[in-house]
Chain A
Amino acid sequence: MINSKAFFLGLKSLRGARSPAIPLAACFIALGALLKDAGFNIQQSAASSFFTYALPGQLVMAESLLLGASIINIFLAVWLVNFRLYPMTVSLFPLLEHNSQPKWKYYLSCHFLAVTSWLIAKENYKEIDKKNRIDFWIGIGTGTWSTAIMMTIIGYLAADFLNKEMLIGLAIVNPIYFFCMMISAMKDLSVAISVIVGTTLGPVIYLFTEEWSLLFAGLIAGTVAFFVGEKNG
């Protein structure tokens, strides 16, 4: 049903010099502490990472709750910040597609799609035989997802021992790690332009519209990069 060799290769991506374990641990420990601060109990904190597993959305949820936002508002705010997962899935899953594989694997394992797992899969999918790529992906996902859940629990338990400066330090690790991974991915022109224009437009558009900034910045920067790439490619 699942090719165990490919699965364990995916799981093993947690080890080694490019391992995402440290940055994942840092940011989910910070999240666990934040959720405790927001009034969550330990089961609720673990459930949040178990069922959502997308850090920016969880941050939005915690902040909105602290501000007393309604459930509808939380839903919309999270949907907008996590909408990036849609283009991310479409730019990964066709690479994992194989006729012999059942559809349920794709529908269930899309839950593992987050920035960390996506960047690892994009970097390594070529090394795996097409037929087994989805199992490789499930391996990566299982590893990163379970790390996130465990670290949320640890962060919750450690909250009282972490001072503010330490939490701030932990929170920066994630964006730094992602930026480094994206710089490694800037091998062709269109990706390089996507990254540079997107990084600039994100904060600029945020000044005009907080909620829609990611969607607009992503669409504009991505479309510009696509056309420049087409013209020069």
Chain B
Amino acid sequence: MASSQIIIFAIIATSIATYISRLMGALTSEKVSVKSKIFKWFNCVAYSTLAALLGRMIIFPAGVLAESELIIRLIVFFTCIALFILSKKNLVLPTITSAILLSFLTKI
């Protein structure tokens, strides 16, 4: 268990490390035009970095999710994506199903 002082330093370090990327982004944005190629490139990199993070969250998760089985996570993932497409892009249905299905499959 970490001491209270270390926790506070960790919160500060985490917050600064996160805000740096956001502020750098805001500063770079001032020089980037919406119509430029560089803007399109940044858009692609943003979507793919996010996709990479999500792929990793499903296959190699952090936190409590790591305690569930990979095969179960994949079953839940594909079921919910299918539900999303079949339900004409309803967001509430697949998200609620995912929680119930994963809890249930992990328990049995």
Contact = CB atoms under 8 A, between A and B. Distances in A.
B67 A168 contact: yes
B48 A57 contact: no
Interface residues of A, number: 114
Contacts of A203: 55-56, 58-60
A214 to B, nearest CB: 5
Interface stretch (A3-11, A40-48, A142-150): A40-48
Q: Which DSSP category, helix, strand, loop or mixed, fits chain A's interface? A: helix
Which of B1, B12, B65, B81 gathers the greatest number of chain A CB atoms within 10 Å? B65
A108 B6 CA distance: 27
Interface in A32-80: 33-34, 38-41, 44, 47-48, 51-54, 56-66, 68, 71, 74-76, 78-79
B92 to A, nearest CB: 6
B10 A87 contact: no
Contact of B2 (A38, A75, A91, A173): A38
A191 B104 CA distance: 34
A194 B98 contact: no
Contacts of A66: 2
A71 B45 CA distance: 29
Given A173-B95, A176-B80, A222-B45, A168 B54 contact: no
A108 to B, nearest CB: 9
Interface of B: 1-2, 4, 6-26, 28-30, 32-34, 37, 39-65, 67-68, 73, 76-77, 80-81, 84-85, 89-92, 94-96, 98-104, 106-107
Give the 7 A-B residue pairs with the shortest CB-CB distance, closest first: A89-B25, A218-B49, A202-B52, A198-B51, A222-B45, A198-B48, A169-B103
